Amino acid sequence: MAARAYWQGQIRLALVSIPVEIYPATGSGAQVAFHQIHEPSGKRIKYEKVVPGIGPVDTDDIVKGYEVSKGNYVLLEQDEIDAVKLESKRTLELVQFVASDDIDVIYFEKPYYVVPADELAEEAFIVLREALRRTRKVGLGQLAMRGREYVVSLKPCGRGMVLETLRYADEVRKAQSYFREIPDSKPDADLLDLAETLIDKKSAKFDASEFHDRYVDALKALIEKKRKAKGRKVIEEEEEEEVPARKGNVIDLMAALKKSVEGGPGAKPAGARKPAPARKAAPARKAPARKRA
């Protein structure tokens, strides 16, 4: 468990309060970090905070300001911002419960692990966890963290619970403006059957470890090639993909689906094991010599 909790407070359900701690459930994966470099000198570019007409300024002289009109700001000290009173800074009150599949996935933002703060909180924590599990409900409330108040959901996860921050309604773009040009028509039954067969063929139990960031691997390989090339430009040629057969300007979908189902290129089902190497045929034994009469 992390040494320091991301948030400490209590979950409140009516008159029941449960002291809890929250920890980030995700971390940054493998990445390739680039810096901006001044090519003629080979030195790294750095940034300074400057004021027009004054020049570089000291960090201690910088405060936060809200622009109320063009060029006019209300200045705020950090301790003034920290002193804003908001109950959700220390208390997550569960105000509503909804079915777990009622929330569209587009609203979910970031997950956090929730654990009881001490042994005294464990009993109430377990009761809430199991009640959510049995009713198949998700608790909703609001929580203030790091200068912002979030809508959050709470649901069981193994022995603990997971809290997920949700986007507000005005942060989610309406899908209709993007989907309105897609025709509302029924697909051909044969094509649909083939597509379902292909999905069944490639179905497997989800295992996150089966996937990794191949772009990071490719960038690392490129960096190594560039290092060995001693500054010479390295451009990798793209492999040409096989173009599906077309009828006029439309891909022959039936042919493409049939080929995929029959095991065409890229039709390997997810999670499929590599075939065992073929055994070499044993050398034929010589027939025993016949005894002379």
Q: Where are the domains of the chain?
A: 7-26+84-171, 187-204+246-265
CB of 141 closer than 8 Å to CB of 98: no
Three-class secondary structure of residue 140 per DSSP: strand
Count of residues making up the chain? 293
Q: Which amino acid is at 268?
A: K
The DSSP secondary-structure symbol of 59 reads: G
Report d(CA 20, CA 11) in Å as an integer: 7
Please give the pLDDT value at position 227. 81
Three-class secondary structure of residue 244 per DSSP: coil
- CATH C-level class of 7-26+84-171: mainly beta
Report d(CA 143, CA 154) in Å as an integer: 11
Please give the pLDDT value at position 33. 84
Name every residue whose Cβ is closer than 8 Å to that of residue 201 and which is 6 or more positions away in sequence: 261, 267, 269
Report d(CA 87, CA 174) in Å as an integer: 31
CB of 117 closer than 8 Å to CB of 8: yes
CB of 151 closer than 8 Å to CB of 166: yes
Please give the pLDDT value at position 164. 96
Taking alpha carbons only, the member of 208, 183, 196, 188 closest to residue 252 is 188
Taking alpha carbons only, the member of 209, 98, 226, 220 closest to residue 151 is 98
Residue pointed to by tokens 């089902």 = 269
Rounded alpha-carbon distances, angstroms, from residue 9 to 6, 21, 290 = 10, 7, 93
Report d(CA 256, CA 245) in Å as an integer: 8
Three-class secondary structure of residue 208 per DSSP: helix
Three-class secondary structure of residue 224 per DSSP: helix
Q: Which amino acid is at 262?
A: E
CB atoms within 10 A of CB 92: 27
- The answer to whether the pTM exceeds 0.85 is no
Chain-centroid distance of CA 288 in Å reads 68
Per-residue pLDDT of the chain (293 residues; tens, 9 = 90+): 446 899 999 999 988 999 999 999 988 777 888 888 888 888 999 888 888 888 888 888 888 998 988 889 898 888 888 778 788 889 999 999 999 889 999 999 999 999 999 999 999 999 999 999 999 999 999 999 888 899 999 999 999 999 999 999 999 998 888 888 888 888 888 888 888 888 888 888 888 888 777 778 888 888 888 888 877 777 776 666 665 555 554 468 888 888 888 875 544 444 444 444 444 444 444 444 444 43
Please give the pLDDT value at position 71. 85
CB of 113 closer than 8 Å to CB of 160: yes
